[in-house]
């Protein structure tokens, strides 16, 4: 996600992550460089995994990824749960802007994941 200057600065940088692995990202969002550390808290290959914020700007962030095989490939179902700090003001910001922004961001990221998955490069990490 180059347009957000996204970089991994710590943790798992190559291959598929395992249970309890962490990764720390920096990226530019809302005119500010942000930092997010996530941990893989649940994993059942090849059906699903869950990553949760360990450090970052959200009050809480949990991202669930489910994979369902179909005749011509795989469907990925994404469930993204988050809470912002700042009480009522945070809830207003969520409704007016952040939910739409995060949906767009996840759709962009999912397109990158789709392209990587369809390239078959990831299969080397399944062994």
**Which CATH number goes with the domain that contains 57?**
3.30.530.20
- pLDDT tens by residue, the chain, 127 residues: 677 788 989 998 777 889 999 999 998 988 889 999 999 999 998 899 999 999 999 999 999 999 888 898 888 899 999 999 989 999 998 889 999 999 999 998 888 777 776 776 666 555 4
**How many domains, in total, are found in the chain?**
1
Q: What is the pLDDT of residue 123?
A: 61
Tokens of 95: 């409704």
Residue 44 structural domain: 2-125
Q: Name the pTM for this structure.
A: 0.83
Long-range contacts of 81-88 (CB under 8 A, 24+ apart): 82/58, 83/58, 83/59, 84/57, 84/58, 84/59, 85/57, 85/58, 85/59
């Amino acid at each position: 996600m180059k347009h957000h200057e996204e970089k991994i600065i710590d943790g798992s940088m190559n291959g598929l992550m395992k249970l309890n692995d962490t990764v720390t990202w920096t990226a530019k969002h809302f005119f500010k460089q942000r930092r997010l550390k996530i941990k893989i808290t649940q994993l059942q290959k090849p059906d699903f995994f869950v990553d949760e914020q360990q450090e970052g700007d959200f009050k809480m962030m949990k991202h669930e990824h489910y994979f369902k095989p179909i005749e011509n490939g795989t469907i990925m179902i994404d469930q993204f749960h988050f809470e912002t700090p700042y009480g009522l003001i945070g809830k207003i910001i969520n409704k007016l802007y952040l939910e739409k922004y995060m949906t767009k961001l996840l759709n962009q990221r999912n397109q990158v994941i789709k392209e990587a998955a369809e390239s078959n490069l990831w299969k080397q990490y399944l062994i």
